[in-house]
Amino acid sequence: MFGNKRPARSLLKFVSIAVALAVLIAEISLGGLTKLGNRLIGSTDRRDPTIAVAQSSKPNILVIWGDDIGQSNISAYTMGAVGYRTPNIDRIANEGLIFTDYYGEQSCTAGRSSFITGQSVFRTGLSKVGMPGADLGLQAEDPTIAELLKPMGYVTGQFGKNHLGDRDEFLPTNHGFDEFFGNLYHLNAEEEPELPDYPTDPEFRERFGPRGVIHSYADGRIEDTGPLTKKRMETIDDETISATLRFIEEAHQDNQPFFVWWNGTRMHFRTHVKPELQGISGQDEYADGMVEHDMHVGQLLDKLDELGIADNTIVFYSTDNGPHLNTWPDAAQTPFRGEKNTNWEGGWRVPAMVRWPGVVQPGSVSNEIVHHMDWLPTFLAAVGDSNVKEKLLSGYQGFRVHLDGYNLVPYLSGQAPKSPREEIFYFSDDGDLTALRYEDWKLVFMEQRVAETLQAWQEPFVPLRLPLIFHLRRDMYERAQLTSNSYYDWLIDRVFALVPAQEYVANFLETFQAFPPRQTPASFTVDQALEVLQTAGASKNLPEKTKQELSQ
């Protein structure tokens, strides 16, 4: 959490994995198989392939996110099996396309940074959950969707949770947004000052406590509107929705296309629902909060209808990461193995759907691999710049970066039969490459053996000499390793999967020669603290014995 720009250590970890793979493959010597078999498309594809992207005017872009929401909590995925329905979120799916194999990241900051920058968290260094008082955050050298849309005439607003840095320099209004109104952290961090054991020393609160709900503008104005207390958590999403609706109305009145990103605080724990909505779901307070979240989504959709701009607005719904199951019953649900902060599918697969009138055929279902990173090049292509990825390699608008996202427009519009994405790299919050998905196959290089309770955050990933292998169509919940009597017999006959895995890792690694990691992920261990002390010379007065103990 100290933000030193020291990419070498994480890069070496990454290199070591690639080298280990190469050695392992050479030792097994199973021949030169380089293909993993036919790709399963399986889409319920009702799209007309002749549909072209609308060119009449630049579309508005409305991005709606929840927090820590699972696929099972949305009735478009589970048809109400959890005891309540989400008709407004379902409406986006029914009037557009719903994804089954859609990936966020393993935690909040990672998911949000990968979306807004279009870059891997290993590249930006934003893989660890951002904490109050930390000095790590979104860097000025990494362009956001908002920064790239501004020169194209867009007004840009971000509302709700940010979680991309504690300092003013990390605020959205210093990264392309005209206006920001929202909180900076996860909810349980916001309510820490109300806990009985929280330090009462004002200096501690000043240095390490959460800032309040921030209202800022691109002209430099920053207002702290007060703390996000447990009581205010009951209505904070009402506040940010009102600001979002006002921003959309003003953009429409000014005849300007808008890019708006609303991030509800629902359903991160702890859930605090206002009294008048308690019991609305017929289940518990968590379910009440989910129904309220759906109502907020409905307000946004209704506003588009009211203004007559729904047909010229792309609406994308998702969340940052998989469910935080260890806080149950105040937690989302997923059928997949694992949860938030693991490298199992449960930590990464998230609900996602997009409505794009005239481009995406209503009622479509996609089984293709898609990731948060893909929306930056997709949105830019949607407004007329299909070459932004190539241009950024050579310094477009003063930014020289390597985008890891893919342009989905040809796929979404029916002009291409498949998503351009074939792979997912699973990075831990410490920046380790723990797994790779290639088409239908997943290889796990580092195993998280404690997959439940908060121990999943505490215990280390265990490097494996031979990766676990999963086929995510035949074993989508990754349970064969646990339940099958013949799993390891099956695995030994499929080690050919290591060959293309090596190639994918090597190709990805090669991009870091010209575009190295921006910063090292934060750490909750003493190692990084000691390095900072040594780098700053602050440890020169420590006893030698203490230095040695800290370094062990």
The 3 state secondary structure assigned to 200-219 is CCHHHHHHHCCCCCEEEECC
Residue written as token pair 């009449």:
56
Domain annotation covers residue 136: no
Sequence-distant (6+) residues with CB within 8 A of 223 are: 214, 215, 216
Domain annotation covers residue 85: yes
Domain annotation covers residue 445: no
Single residue among 321, 342, 365 that ends a domain in this structure: 365
The single-letter DSSP state of residue 124 is H
Of 166, 216, 206, nearest to 186 by C-alpha is 166
pLDDT tens digits, residue range 289-299? Answer: 999 999 999 99
| φ, ψ dihedrals at 351, nearest 5° | -70, 145
**Separation CA 536–CA 552 (nearest Å):** 20
% of residues, the chain, pLDDT over 70: 84
Asked whether 469 and 458 are in contact (CB, 8 A), the reply is: no
Amino acid present at 120 = S
Per DSSP bridges, beta strands 155-160 and 423-427 are unpaired
CATH of the domain at 338: 3.40.720.10
Domain annotation covers residue 414: no
Domain of residue 545 covers 524-552
| φ, ψ dihedrals at 491, nearest 5° | -60, -45
Q: What is the largest CA-CA distance in the chain?
A: 73
Single residue among 338, 365, 392 that ends a domain in this structure: 365
pLDDT tens digits, residue range 189-231? Answer: 899 999 999 999 999 998 999 999 999 999 999 999 999 999 9
Total count of domains within the chain: 2
Asked whether 210 and 189 are in contact (CB, 8 A), the reply is: yes
Torsion angle of alpha carbons 522, 523, 527, 531, nearest 10°?
10
Domain annotation covers residue 393: no
Q: Could you read off the pLDDT tens digit of each residue along the chain, which spans 552 residues?
A: 333 333 333 334 444 444 444 334 333 333 332 333 332 333 333 333 323 443 448 999 999 999 999 999 999 999 999 999 999 999 999 999 999 999 999 999 999 999 999 999 999 999 988 888 788 899 999 999 999 999 999 999 999 999 999 999 999 999 999 999 999 999 998 999 999 999 999 999 989 999 999 999 999 999 999 999 999 999 999 999 999 999 999 999 999 999 999 999 999 999 999 999 999 999 999 999 999 999 999 999 999 999 999 999 999 999 999 999 999 999 999 999 999 999 999 999 999 999 999 999 999 999 999 999 999 999 999 999 999 999 999 999 999 999 999 999 999 999 999 999 999 999 999 999 999 999 999 999 999 998 778 998 899 999 999 999 999 999 999 999 999 999 999 999 999 888 888 888 889 989 999 999 999 887 655 565 555 445 544 444 444 443 444 444
Domain annotation covers residue 512: no
Domain annotation covers residue 396: no
